[in-house]
Amino acid sequence: MTRINEAQLIDTIRATQTAYHKLTILVGETHAGKTPLLKRIAMELDLPVLNLGLPLSQRLLSKSRRQISLQSADIATELIDEHISKGICIDNTELLFQGPLKMDPLAFFEKVSRNRYVIATWNGTFVNGELRFGEPGHPDHFHKAAAGYPVVAVKENELELHLTA
């Protein structure tokens, strides 16, 4: 773990250009400052910001439960592709964790970051190399080791860089 400033974070994101996954995760609890940080990154790198929750939920409304579990990742990818440039900043990702979608949000971000920068917010924590969402026992609880891309813990204007192996 290394404390960094925003300029160093931008340099870290640019360095992912040659990585297999061009992914950076901004992780933090609610109101930690992830969204304002993401917007500043988007301005600096001239990237669009996608509020994923709203358009994804709108497109899933007309789907059956089975269709939701089968098509949610494809629909989310389509939304990202509609905003694509050299990359994208993705905010409000909590919908990806809901049980009916049957998604692995981290695998989803890894997949869509193979050919473009993806900077995504993650409402949760980073503990012992694992990204976590929700509390154990909660139906939407998710935890998985992150590997091969930077994870930045955002805590009230402090940034902690974790380079995952």
Q: What is the 3-state secondary structure (H, E, C) of 3-35?
A: EECHHHHHHHHHHHHHCCCCEEEEEECCCCCHH
Question: Region 47-62: what's the mean pLDDT?
Answer: 91
Q: Which of 75-79, 96-100, 127-131, 151-155 has the lowest mean pLDDT?
A: 96-100
Higher-confidence residue of 103 and 1: namely 103
Query: How would residue 36 be classed by pLDDT, with cut points 50, 70 and 90?
Result: very high
What is the model's pTM? 0.91
**pLDDT in the model for residue 163:** 87
Q: How far apart are CA 129 and CA 150, in angstroms?
A: 11
Query: How would residue 111 be classed by pLDDT, with cut points 50, 70 and 90?
Result: very high
Q: Is the pLDDT of residue 22 over 90?
A: yes
4, 42, 114, 151 from 145: Cα distances, Å = 22, 26, 18, 11
For residues 60-74, one letter each, b for 16 or more C-beta atoms within 10 angstroms of the residue's C-beta and e for the rest, the string is beeeeeeebeebbbe
Q: Is the pLDDT of residue 17 over 90?
A: no
**pLDDT in the model for residue 160:** 94
For residue 102, which amino acid is it?
K
**pLDDT in the model for residue 81:** 86
Task: Give the percent of the chain with pLDDT over 70.
Answer: 99
**pLDDT in the model for residue 112:** 92
Q: Tell me the two tokens of residue 74.
A: 């494809």
**pLDDT in the model for residue 134:** 85
Cβ distance 122 to 131 under 8 Å? yes
Q: Is the pLDDT of residue 78 over 80?
A: yes
Q: How far apart are CA 64 and CA 11, in angstroms?
A: 43
Q: How far apart are CA 18 and CA 165, in angstroms?
A: 15
If phi > 0 it is left, if psi is from -120 to 50 it is alpha, else beta; for residue 98 that is: beta
Sheet of strand 142-145: strand arrangement = 125-127, 130-133, 142-145
Higher-confidence residue of 37 and 163: namely 37
